[in-house]
């Protein structure tokens, strides 16, 4: 039997949420949802875990802090110490207050850009990438739930279709995948 993919379209986020709750309760696995905006409360229902991007941001920012500390020490203390206005230049720690702004800015720089780049790479959203939403209306006002038979071996195709049709479907398309 060929695998089939169901694209179930809803015209309201509440209908989508109700349908997802009902289907998941019956043991049907929802592969993905395409929506024009983040539907709050959907993620735990369809089993999307919270992203760990915030942790990566912390790691990038810490790297930035360390690099800035290393840089200011190397440029100002080690490689070419200069007596500028009599400000201390013998040890990094004596001079550290003057370096705080640059260390802070560089940490933010690394934290923000590192996370943004990771976000784009993990999403696969990069310049020139093709769009993969099944219907152009999903970026306007329609919500599409993607269910594949591959994930739901316990149900036959007609069984699945019957259960899906029981929700407030706006449009349903069934394709081979």
DSSP state of 136: G
**Measured between alpha carbons, how far is 98 from 87 in angstroms, rounded to an integer?**
9
Nearer to another protein (CB atom), residue 28 or residue 42: 42
Among 1, 38, 153, 158, binds another protein (CB under 8 A): 38
Nearer to another protein (CB atom), residue 27 or residue 97: 97
162 touches 6 (CB < 8 A): no
In which residue are the tokens 């395409």 written?
34
Binding segment for another protein (CB under 8 A), chosen from 2-10, 127-135, 154-162, 169-177, is 127-135
**Tokens of residue 2, six digits:** 């060929």
Binding segment for another protein (CB under 8 A), chosen from 1-9, 112-120, 149-157, 169-177, is 112-120
**Measured between alpha carbons, how far is 76 from 80 in angstroms, rounded to an integer?**
6
**Measured between alpha carbons, how far is 80 from 159 in angstroms, rounded to an integer?**
76
**Tokens of residue 25, six digits:** 């309760």
Site membership for another protein, residue 129 (CB under 8 A) = yes
Return residues touching another protein (CB under 8 A). 13-14, 32-40, 42-43, 46, 48, 50-51, 53-54, 57, 61, 71-72, 75-76, 79-80, 82, 84-85, 87, 95, 98-99, 101-102, 104-106, 108-109, 111-113, 115-116, 119-120, 122-133, 136-141
């Amino acid at each position: 039997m060929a695998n089939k993919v169901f694209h179930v379209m809803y015209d309201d986020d509440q209908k989508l949420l109700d349908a997802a709750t009902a289907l998941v309760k019956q043991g049907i696995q929802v592969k993905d949802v395409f929506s024009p905006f983040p539907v709050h409360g959907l993620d735990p229902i369809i089993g999307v875990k919270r992203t760990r991007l915030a942790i990566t941001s912390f790691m990038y920012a810490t790297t930035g802090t360390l690099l800035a500390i290393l840089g200011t020490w190397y440029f100002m203390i080690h490689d070419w110490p200069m007596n500028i206005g009599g400000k201390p230049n013998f040890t990094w720690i004596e001079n550290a207050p003057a370096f705080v702004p640059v260390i802070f800015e560089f940490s933010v720089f690394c934290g923000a850009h590192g996370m943004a780049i990771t976000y784009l790479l993990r999403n696969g959203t990069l310049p020139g990438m093709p769009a993969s939403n099944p219907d152009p209306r999903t970026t306007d006002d329609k919500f599409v739930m993607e269910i594949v038979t591959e994930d739901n071996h316990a149900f036959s195709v007609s069984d699945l279709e019957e259960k899906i049709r029981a929700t407030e479907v706006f449009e349903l398309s069934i394709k081979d995948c």
